[in-house]
Structure 1
Amino acid sequence: MSNSYLSTLICRQAKKYGDRIALKYRDYETESWISVSWNQFAEKVNWVSNALIALGAEVQENIGVFSQNMPECLYTDFGAFGSRIVTIPLYATSSEAQVHYILQDAGIRFLFVGEQYQYDVACRVQNLCKTLKQIIIFDPKVKRSASDTNSIYYSDFLKLGMERKFQAEVDKRTSESGNGDLANILYTSGTTGESKGVMLHHSCYEAAFAAHDGRLTTLGESDVVMNFLPFTHIFERAWSYYCINKGCLLCINLRPQDIQKTIKEIRPTAMCSVPRFWEKVYAGVQEKINETTGLKKSLMLDALKVGKEHNITYLMNGKTPPPLLHMKYKFYEKTIYSLLKKTIGIENGNFFPTAGAAIPRAVEEFVHSVGINMIAGYGLTETTATVSCCWFDSFRIGSVGRVMPNLEIKIGENNEILLRGETITKGYYRKEAMTRQVLTEDGWFHTGDAGYIEDGFLFLTERIKDLFKTSNGKYIAPQAIETKLVVDRYIDQISIIADQRKFVSALIVPEYGQVKKYAEEHHIAYTDMKDLLQKQEILDLFRLRIDTLQQEFAHYEQIKRFTLLPEPFSMDKGELTNTLKIKRPVLMKNYAKEIEKMYEE
């Protein structure tokens, strides 16, 4: 195969599927979903290839896409691949400093932006950034600033390609493309420091597709896939490319906070998400059970018990459930489980890949008990997403599944997971020293994650960098404690403090609605949230819940003191990365006063 697979993918799919629907996106003015056929998709992609050459974009030049999920992101990506151009996605919520850093580091001349926020940031950065030559705006409703003379709207950009004046050059580039070409550079938002550009070549995606064909055997052209995570995230990006490759219908969700509404409008068969999505579902069900009484309550509790026994105790361990249990399970499948799935909007579910953080055990058991096919997995930007994943009949609670067929794995010192294979990055863009820190001469990649393999299943234990050592010399894995506690319906966010400290403490962002409800039910008077969170009754409530949840931890791992925060951790304050992971160093600084107070004698 001479040309790179992705450079001709959409064109090949259009020949195969023609006027079948390839994409849908939500029009917020008419509250309706607009369809794009494979032929329309291919036509737009071809215009983009032509228009990029019209602008003067060169072979293997880097262009930026700074936008929330829109069909235009995909037109731009595949149009760029057709002309051997590299695309660099930026998170829609990125700050000015982050955007400036990436544009400079990658020498970006052409930047595509989504809506008003991205346009405004790009304009401010353009004054500081020597390389940025032109901004191309996706959303026609964006108001351009008075001093802006050279940005163009996407519709005008496409016009540069509609007459296909550069088709001969596009064809030449496509025929010269190969899987050794660079496809994307993905900047990781680093929980620890400076962001690094992970280089992913076309060969990485081709190897990932081949590996997934052997594992995700039920995904095909009848699947309706909801897109919810940002395309900037390797998980959603590689998954979406793969779904397009399988001929699925991709439904693009523009605003992540709308997922509860859009999932009910689309009722997808598949969607990849982070554990947070399922934690919210689990919390909602627990809430419902708490509010219910009598027969209905005992039926719901029994349904969960039966499901757990049937799917986890028996099926997960390769045993056949006894006939009576199986009959009860079938009854609940038609009643309680199906009602629950319908309420969420996933009654047509095929399977739901989940990764990006540890899945709390209680949440994972619940999802499997009610027969939702959540496929737990593990991957990094540097590995083109999937390293390992579970599958329908082969999963273990707490495991991230079996390693993908094309990867070699070994467990190194400190139980670090090392990987080698075609999907592994060739390094960080223009950062040779950093590349050498993670990639050995003979091609082993150091993940920085610790884990072990049991019966062919991979289990993660902790991020090696994240291990805390108390002043008494004991090692603490903060994520294990956080994952255990975040399932509590009163806890929204939590960060463990323990490094070089005498004991473990925690900063907790409560689920404010639940706390208010508790205050009402127990007639606790208060002026504002800050006042409420200092009330002894509320502190006692949290103490009790924390103590109940942390029983299984060793004495030195248990939370001795905690602080309830009246405001959530936020990206604005630099406390969360773009993928909503906690930046511990920032929290240590922002809450230094509260932390010190917990360690006063």
Structure 2
Amino acid sequence: MTYHHLSVLVHRQAEKYGDRIALKYRDYDKGQWLPITWNQFSESVHVAANAMVEMGVAEQENIGVFSQNKPECLYTDFAAFANRAVTIPLYATSSPAQVQYIVNDAGIRYLFVGEQFQYNAAVTVQFLCKSLEKLIIFDRSVVKDERDNTSIYFDEFLKLGETKQHSAIVEERSSKATEDDLANILYTSGTTGEPKGVMIHHSCYMEQFKNHDIRLTDMSDNDVSMNFLPMTHIFEKTWVYYCIHKGVQTCINLRPSDIQTTVKEIRPTLMCSVPRFWEKVYDGVQEKINETTGIKKALMLDAIKVGKIHNIDYLRVGKTPPLMNQLKYKFYEKTIFSVLKKTIGIENGNFFPTAGAAISDEINEFIHSVGINLIIGYGLTESTATVSCTISNDYTIGSVGKVLPGVEVRIGENNEIFLRGNTITKGYYMKAEATAAAFTKDGWFRTGDAGYMKDGELYLTERIKDLFKTSNGKYIAPQALETKLVVDRYIDQIAVVANQRKFVSALIVPVYEHVKEYAEQKNLEFGSMEELLQNPKIIALFKARIDTLQQQFAHYEQVKRFTLLPEPFSMEKGELTNTLKMKRNVIEANYKELIDKMYEA
């Protein structure tokens, strides 16, 4: 297969695919999905690349993109690559302080912003950023600050290059582009300390294209991918670039909260997601089973049982299921399983990669049992996403799959996973000390994750930095316990507390609707959610469910006390990162009084 540099990739694909659809996006005013052909995609990149030259963008200059997912993000990325410039994505939910830090750290002159929220955050700190000269606004409906006389809209930006008067300069720059050029700087979401800019070179993406071509042999240019996760995240960014490399049609979901609707409108064959998406699918099915009675309920339970035997006990290990099981599975596939997939919007599914957090074995097993081809993966920003992933019909529940070709894994001290290869970052932008600390003397990257290899597959055990040590000297891996407990239909979020404490406790955000339904069934009266969550019968309900789920853990690892919270953890309160990972230090500070109360004698 031919591998084109990102500076020319879109144009080479346009030469191949012409008027085939490359991208789609939802026009909310018209209420429909609008197509963008490969030729139109290429033309927009050409014009944007010329506009950048007109505006004064230099080779290897850092350009910021602060937006939710939009086609304009891709036009900007690939126009920058054509000019050998570097793009720096900022999460659409970033606060003004986060924007200020990244713009100053990377010396950004031009910042492309999406909608009103991003514009407002950027214009607030514009005068605190010495390097920042201009905002380019994607959304024409954004109302500019009356004091703002430098910002322009994206259509005005494109007019700067519509005559393509600088095509010779762009072509010359593209011809000089090499795999050693820096492509992106991705700032970590910062669960601890200040964000660090992870440098991703073109060589990292090129290597991932090659690795994934070897691993994902079932993917073709006939696939349709739903772009759901933010393109600021390395998982989705690498995936979208890879889809462009493969000629896959990419449908861009603008608003994350709309995914349950948009996925049914597109009915994709591919979609990257995080485990939370599948947890909600699992919860929905369990809820349906609980509401159903009689023969219908028996059929649903039997379908899952038959699916497990068919897909996990047999096909997963390369065996042929018994004839009776095959017949029953075909029946359930055409009835119960097809209805489930159609309800979600994934009945055309090829496979669905998931990563970013641990997924419980129960949910993993369930999703495969009902015939959804879930690909479990592991990776980091510093590894340009995928380190390992499962293979269809050749995986072990509980593993994160086989390591990709071209990536080396070594298990070091404290079982830490070390990485080496062409997909691994060369370091952190302008942070020599942090870069040196991240690598061993012989060049292996320290992931901070602990794990082990078995039968060619990688297993994760805990995040080393997250390990708690109780006051009794026992080590606790909070993520393992949280992953187990969050499966419960009544638990939405959970933060385990144990560091330097006598025992393990937890802060729990319930699924409020389920708690209300339970209260109504039991005729429990309450004036507010806070009052209801303090009801002894509700507390007893959670205790019974937690005790059942944590039986496999050692006694000292089990949650002894917990507090039910009337409000969820949020990014606004600083408790979650932009990728929805918990900031444990912030949570423990915000809920210090409640935590201390759990440890009172």
Q: Decide: shared fold, TM above 0.5.
A: yes
By how many angstroms is 1:218 displaced?
Answer: 1.1
Whole-angstrom CA distance in 2 between matches of 1:161 and 1:219: 36
Could you tell me which residue of structure 1 aligns to residue 187 of structure 2?
187
Establish whether residue 73 from structure 1 lines up as the match of residue 70 from structure 2: no
Alignment-mate amino acid for residue 102 of structure 2: I
- Sequence identity, in percent? 68
CA distance in 2 between counterparts of 1:28 and 1:490 reads 34
Contact 2:3 2:206 in 1 (8 A): no
1:188, 1:381 within 8 Å by CA — same for their partners in 2? yes
Cα contact 1:21–1:36 (8 A) shared by 2: yes
TM-score by length of 2: 0.99
Check whether the contact 2:223–2:269 (CA below 8 A) recurs between aligned residues: yes
Q: In 2, distance between residues paired with 1:199 and 1:4? A: 20
Spell out the pairing of 1:28-39 with structure 2 (5 A cutoff): 28-39=28-39
Q: Is the 8 A contact 1:2 1:176 kept in 2?
A: no
**Structure 1 position 425 matched with structure 2 position 425:** yes
**1:200 and 2:200 aligned:** yes
Distance 1:2 1:484, change over 3 A: closer
Kindly indicate whether residue 487 of structure 2 is the aligned counterpart of residue 487 of structure 1.
yes
- CA distance in 2 between counterparts of 1:122 and 1:253 reads 23
Within-5 A mapping of 1:216-231: 216-231=216-231
- Note closer, same or farther for the CA distance 1:365–1:3 as it changes in structure 2 (3 Å cut): closer
How many Å apart are 1:319 and its aligned residue? 2.7
Secondary structure in 2 aligned to 1:200? strand
1:572 aligns with 2:576: no
> Does residue 1:298 correspond to 2:306, yes or no?
no
Structure 2 counterpart of 1:196, which letter? Answer: K
* Post-superposition offset of 1:443: 2.2
Name the SS for the 1:214 alignment partner.
helix
Aligned to 1:120: 120
Q: Indicate the residue corresponding to 1:58 in structure 2.
A: 58
> Deviations for 1:91-120, whole angstroms, at most 9, x for unmatched residues?
000011111000000000000000000000
Question: CA–CA distance in 1 between the matches of 2:61 and 2:484?
Answer: 45
CA positional deviation for 1:4: 6.8
User: Shift in Å at residue 127 of structure 1?
Assistant: 1.6
The offset of 1:346, in angstroms, is: 0.3
Normalised TM-score (structure 1): 0.99
Deviations 1:398-444 (A, max 9, x none): 11100000011110010111111000000000001000111234321
Distance 1:3 1:25 in 2: 27
Aligned to 1:47: 47
* d(CA) in 2 for partners of 1:225, 1:115: 24
Kindly indicate whether residue 143 of structure 2 is the aligned counterpart of residue 143 of structure 1: yes
* 1:535 and 2:535 correspond: yes
Q: How far apart, in 2, do the equivalents of 1:104 and 1:16 lie?
A: 41
Q: Secondary structure at the match of 1:563?
A: strand
1:134 maps to what in 2?
134
Deviation, 1:3, is 11
Q: How does 1:369-448 map to 2 (within 5 A)?
A: 369-448=369-448
Gap regions ≥5 residues in structure 2: none
Answer whether contact 1:224 1:248 (CA < 8 A) is retained: yes
Cα separation, 2, equivalents of 1:415 and 1:342:
42
Aligned to 1:15: 15
Residue in structure 1 matched with residue 545 of structure 2 by the alignment: 545
- 1:199 deviates by 0.2
SS in 2 for 1:577: coil
Equivalents in 2 of 1:42, 1:187: separation in Å? 28
State the partner residue of 1:250.
250
Q: What is the correspondence of 1:458-497 to structure 2 with a 5 Å cutoff?
A: 458-497=458-497
Instruction: Give the Å deviation of 1:391.
Output: 1.3
Instruction: Give the aligned partner of residue 512 of structure 2.
Output: 512
Letter in 2 for 1:315: L
Matches within 5 A, 1:296-375: 296-375=296-375
With over 3 angstroms needed to count, the CA separation of the structure-2 counterparts of 1:2 and 1:217, relative to structure 1, is closer
Query: Is contact 2:316–2:394 with CA below 8 Å preserved after alignment?
Result: yes
Check conservation: 1:467, 1:477, Cα contact below 8 A. yes
Query: Residues 183-214 of structure 1, C-alpha deviation per residue, up to 9 Å, x if partnerless?
Result: 00000002122100000000000000000000
Aligned counterparts of 1:177 and 1:318: Cα–Cα separation in 2: 45
CA apart distance, 1:19: 0.8
RMSD across aligned positions (CA): 1.2
Runs of 4+ residues deviating >6 angstroms: 1-4
Q: Which residue of 1 aligns with 2:501?
A: 501
C-alpha distance after superposition, 1:63-96 (max 9, x if no partner): 0000000000000000100010100000000011
Q: Deviations over 1:558-596 (max 9, x none)?
A: 100000000000000000000000000000100000000
Q: Following superposition of structure 1 onto structure 2, how do residues 280-299 of structure 1 map, counting pairs within 5 Å?
A: 280-299=280-299
Cα offset, 1:513, TM superposition? 0.6
Number of matched pairs: 601
